[in-house]
Chains A and B, each alone.
Chain A
Amino acid sequence: MNVVGTSAKRIDGIEKVTGTAQFTTDIVLPRMIHAKLKRSPLAHAKILRIDTSEAEQMPGVRAVVTAADLPDVRLGILTLDEHLLAHDKTRLVGEPVAAVAADTPEIARAACEQIEVEYEELPSLFDPEEAIKLDPPVVLHEEYEEYEKLLELAEMDERPPNLWQAYRIRHGDIDAAFKKVEDEGGHIIENRYATGYVHTACMEPHGAVAQWSSDGTLTLWAGGQSPYIARDGLAKALDLSPSKVRVIIPFVGGAFGGKLTVKEGAIAASLARKARRPVKIILTRAEDLSATAARTPFIFDVKDAVTQDGILIGRKVTSILWGGGYSGEGILKPIFSTHLYPGSYRLAALWVDSYGVYTNRVSGGALRGYGCAESAWAVETQMDIIARKCDIDAVELRINNLLTEGERTAITMPAHAFSAHECLTKCADAIEWETPSEPLDPPWYRGKGIALGNKYSFAPTASSTELKVHEDASCELRTSAVDLGQGAYTILTQIVADEFGIEIDKVKLVTPDTAITPFDHVAGSSRQTFHTGNATRMACDDAKRQIRELAAPKLEAHPADLEVSGGHIFVKGSSKSIEVEDLFVVEMLAGKRPADVEILGKATWEVSASPHDPNTGQGEQPMAYMGHGAQAAEVEVNVETGQVRVRKFVSAIDVGKAMNPQGVEMQNYGGGCMGIGIALHEDMCFDTSGQMTNASLMDYKIPSIVEMPLNEYMESIIVEVPHEHGPYGAKGAGEIVVVPTSPAIGNAIYDAIGVRIWDQPLTPEKVVKAWKEKKASGNGSES
C-alpha cells in the first residue's frame, strides 16, 4: 500500500463541497447570544472614564464587560504587554475597550454605541524611524521595564524606549570584507527596501463561541491555528487553570498566521461568564482587516560587499520592523527574518542589527513566511542588482554564491537537504530563462525575473498524537494539528493508511479538541507535515508494537517476528496469520467474549534547539529545518498606466518528499496567488489619525482570478531532496511558496522596463513614477 506520495483526495472535501463543513461562524447553541466590541477611535489616548450604565439598561442586553471586569493581566507571545480590553490607555485605533453581549448582534452593536468613553488624547507616533530614537517624541509603553518578558534582547548601552526587539548577527570580519572589495576593485552595493502593510484577509473572519459549564469549565470553539496556544491564552487572560479550558477547533476558513491567538474568544468567554449564556462573536470584515494583527512593514538597509567576479563576501543589514501598539505575534520576526540574509548563500562575513518598535498602528502579526518573505524582498532584489552590476547572469550569479551540502551558514547551522541549486535551475528552465521575452508594442513591455527563497521551521517544538486501533482494523488518529486548508488532515490520514497498509477510508481523524486530542504546538511555521507527520508515524509504530505483543501468544511466535498490514498480523516467512479483530476476543470454554483490549499508540516528536545568542546570532540548531524554493515570473508592464500583469509564473519548491503531489501544487499556485497580491497591490492604507481607510474587501485588494496567469502559463515544480529527519524525508510547503514571489516579480519588472521600485506593493502609481523618473534622467534607477 503506497498512499503516501499519491494525490489522495482531501478527506474533508465532501463536507466542504456540500456546505456541511461546520466553521465557527456556523455554530449555534441553545440560548446563545451575540457579542460586539466597543473599539477605540483614537490611536493613542488615556482612558479617563467608561460609563456602561445606559448600555446595560437596553432591552436585550445581557452583559457588558470592560477591563474592570477582567483579571489585571497582560498578555503576549513573549513580551506580555497587552490587556484583553484596553486598560488605562489605548495604543491603536480599533483597540477594544468594552464588549457587549445581547440577544441579537444588532442590539449588541447599538449598545456599544451607548457606552460612553472619555479619553484624553495623547500625541500619536506612526513613524518607525522616529519611534526607534533614544529620545522619541512619544513613548507608548511607559511601564515596559516592568513587563514580564520571556526573551532576551541584544545588549545595548541604552534601550530606545519604544523598542521591543533587538537582535544581532556577528559573523566573520565585516570590515575586512568591505576593505577587500575597496582595495581589489569589487562592488559595494547599498540599498534601502521596504515591505508594505499586508493583511491575512482570511475568507472566514475571526470569531469564537464560548460556553461555560456548571463546573466552571470553559469550552471555546474558534478557528484558531493551535488549540493549545488558545487554551493557554484563555487560561491566562481569565485567570483559570488550563485544565478548566477546553478548546475545539472546527473547520477553519483560512489562517495564514492570523489566527495564532484567540483574543476575541477570550472576550466572548468573559461575556458568557457574566451573562451565564453561550456567546458568539464574529468580527465584521472591517474589524477583521483593521484591528487584527497584520504583516506590518519592514525597512531594510542592505549593504553588500561583492568581488569583481560576483562573489558576495560581506553583508551588512539594519532592519526595523514597524510594529504597532503591542508586540503581538510578530515578536520573533526581527529574529527569524535574519535567516534569509545568508539564506542559501555562502557569506564570509555577516553583520546584522534587527529591531522591532512600537508605533500607534495595528500590531504586527504573522503572515505566511513570518519575516522571511519580507527579507527575501530585500536580499533577492539585491542579488539581481549585483548580477547586473557584475554583468553575470542572475541565475549563474546565485549558483556561484550557493552553499554546499553540509557547509555551515553564517548563522552556524549546517546546510542540509540543500536543494537551492536544483530549485533554481528547474525554475529557470521552466521559464526559459535563457530566452529573452518576446517584445510587445509600447506602451507594453515584457520581462522575466527569478528569485530564490528559504523558509525555516522554528524549534524547539513538539507534536504528540494518539492512534487507536478499532476492532474492524480501522484506525483513529487523534491530533491537535489543524487543517487550515493546507491539507494537513489528508496527509496525516495518508500516513496512517500507509503505516497500517489499509485503505484511506479506514482511517478516521479526531480533530483538535483539547479534551481529547494531545498536544501539538501549532499549525504554523510549515511544521505539520514534518513534526505531526513524524509523531503520527511514531504513534502508528507504538500501536503496531502493541498489536504484535497481543498477537504473539495467539500466533505462538515472537513479537519481533510479526508484521502488521492490511488488518492482518503475519508471522514473517510463514503462512500463519490472524486478523486484528481476533485480538479483541477471548476464547472461553463456553465460547467467545470481548477481550479487555485497548490498542492505543502514543507518541511525542520533539525537536530541541540551542538558543540563539541575541548578540551574535550564532547557535548550533536554531531551527528544525530549512526549506528551499525558487520562483520565476514573466510580467507585462504598461508604462503609461503602470499596470503590471503576471503573464507566466513558475514555482519550484523542495518538499523533501511530496506526500500529496496535488497538495504541493495547490500550495505552489495558492502561494503564488497570495504572493502576486502582496507584490503588486495589497496595501492597508491609513489616514493621519491612524485609522485604516480601506478596511473592506472592496478596497483592500486581494487577488481575484484575473490577476492570475492563464492556466497554460502556470507551472508547479516539485523538487524532492529528502531531509534526514522528515517523515519519509518530507519538509513543509506552506510558506516557502510566498517567499520568492515578490522579488521574482520586481526583478521581472526591472527586466521589462529597467526601473526598480524599492517599496512594496509595486502599484501602478509607483511604476509610472519610476518610469517617468527614468525617462527624465535618461538612465536606470540603480546605476
Chain B
Amino acid sequence: MKYPLSLTVNDENYDILVEPYHTLMEAIRDGIGLTGTKCACEDGRCGTCTVLVEGQLVKSCLMLGLQAKEKSVLTIEGLGAPDALHPLQTAFLEHGAVQCGYCTPGMLLTAKQLLDENPNPAEEDIRSAFVGNLCRCGVYTHATQAILSVAVEKEE
C-alpha cells in the first residue's frame, strides 16, 4: 500500500504516494520525475544517487522515501539551471571532469556539500570527501582540479 509523502525538493513542495519500501532515490526519480539523480549500485557504494537532505550528504538509495517526510532535498536539478550554472557545474565542464556523465550529478552534490563545509579544501580533503563517489570513466583528477579552481575563485 502506498503512503503519502510530503517533502520539498529544490524549493518546491511535493505531495506524492510511495511504497514503504521505496527509497528516496525512487521517490525522487519515479514519484517526482526528477531523473538527474541516478542509480548505479543499489547499495550505497557508488554515490551516483547522492543528494543533499537538509544540507547533509545522503546516498538516496540508502534512505527510505518516507524518512524524508517534511524534509528539504536538493538534487542536481536544483544546483543550477542550464542558463544559470552553479560555479561547480561550470568548473566541471571547463576542467574536463565530465565524460559519460552518469556519476556527474552525485559528484557535483558531493562537491557542493564539501565546499559548503570547507570553502578552501586541500587536495587531500577532496580525496577524503570523494571516497564514496565512483566514476568508471576516471574523471577523478579533473574533478579535483575543478573543485580546487572553485575554491580558489572563492578565495580571490
Contacts and interface: CB of A to CB of B under 8 A. Distances in A.
Interface string A13-48: 111111111110110100000000000000000000
Interface stretch (A349-357, A560-568, A703-711): A703-711
Interface centre among A14, A254, A486, A705 (most CB of B within 10 A): A705
Contacts of B138: 669-674, 703, 708
Contact of B77 (A18, A200, A201, A486): A18
A9 B102 CA distance: 18
A284 B61 CA distance: 13
Given A19-B34, A285-B42, 11 more contacts: A10-B98, A17-B80, A17-B85, A17-B98, A19-B35, A23-B102, A253-B100, A254-B137, A256-B136, A285-B41, A485-B99
A456 B70 CA distance: 57
A705 B144 contact: yes
Interface stretch (A229-237, A602-610, A658-666, A754-762): A658-666
10 interchain residue pairs of minimum CB distance:
A19-B36, A673-B138, A485-B100, A253-B102, A16-B101, A670-B138, A19-B76, A485-B99, A26-B35, A17-B89
27 contacts: A13-B92, A16-B104, A17-B93, A17-B108, A18-B36, A18-B81, A18-B82, A18-B85, A20-B77, A21-B101, A23-B102, A25-B39, A253-B101, A254-B137, A485-B100, A670-B137, A670-B139, A671-B138, A696-B42, A697-B41, A697-B43, A702-B136, A704-B130, A705-B133, A706-B131, A711-B141, A714-B141
B99 A711 contact: no
A221 interface: no
A702 B134 contact: yes
B39 A666 contact: no
A666 B93 CA distance: 12
Contacts of A12: 101
B40 A285 contact: yes
Interface in B133-152: 133-145
B45 A697 contact: yes
Interface string A713-726: 01000000000000
A20 B94 CA distance: 18
B2 to A, nearest CB: 11
A205 B41 CA distance: 9
B103 A203 contact: yes
Interface centre among B96, B133, B143 (most CB of A within 10 A): B96
Contacts of A714: 141
Contacts of A485: 99-101, 137
B128 to A, nearest CB: 8
Interface residues of A, number: 58
A205 B75 CA distance: 21
A203 B43 contact: no
A487 interface: yes
Interface string B22-45: 000000010001111111111111
B46 interface: yes
A699 B141 CA distance: 23
Contacts of B39: 25
A251 B123 CA distance: 31
Given A14-B82, A18-B85, A20-B82, A204 B40 contact: yes
Contacts of B37: 19
A202 interface: yes
Contacts of A673: 138, 140-141
A484 interface: yes
Contacts of A487: 99
A269 interface: no
B65 interface: no
Contacts of A13: 92-93, 98
Interface in A109-125: none
Given A203-B48, A285-B42, A285-B43, A708 B36 contact: no
B69 interface: no
Nearest to B102: A253
A705 B104 contact: no
Interface of A: 7, 9-10, 12-23, 25-26, 28, 106, 200-205, 251-254, 256, 284-285, 484-487, 662-663, 665-666, 669-674, 696-698, 702-706, 708, 710-711, 714
Contacts of B80: 17-18
Nearest to A253: B102
B99 A666 contact: yes
Nearest to B124: A710
A258 to B, nearest CB: 10
A12 B81 CA distance: 14
Contacts of A202: 100, 102, 136
Interface centre among B29, B34, B102 (most CB of A within 10 A): B102
A21 B93 CA distance: 14
Contacts of B42: 284-285, 696
B127 interface: yes
B45 A662 contact: no
A698 B140 contact: no
Nearest to A201: B136
Contacts of A203: 38, 40, 46, 48, 100, 102-103, 134-136
Contact of B134 (A21, A704, A710): A704
Nearest to B36: A19
Nearest to B77: A19
Contacts of A28: 33
Contacts of A669: 138-142
A674 B136 contact: yes
A252 B93 contact: no
Interface in B46-71: 46, 48
Contacts of A674: 136, 138
B94 A9 contact: yes
Nearest to B29: A26
Contacts of A23: 35, 38, 102
A710 B141 CA distance: 8
Contacts of B94: 9
A18 B108 CA distance: 9
Interface centre among B21, B45, B92, B136 (most CB of A within 10 A): B136
A710 B148 CA distance: 13
Contacts of A252: 100
B136 A665 contact: no
A714 to B, nearest CB: 5
A666 B96 contact: yes
Contacts of B19: 106
A702 B139 CA distance: 13
A17 B40 CA distance: 17
B61 to A, nearest CB: 10
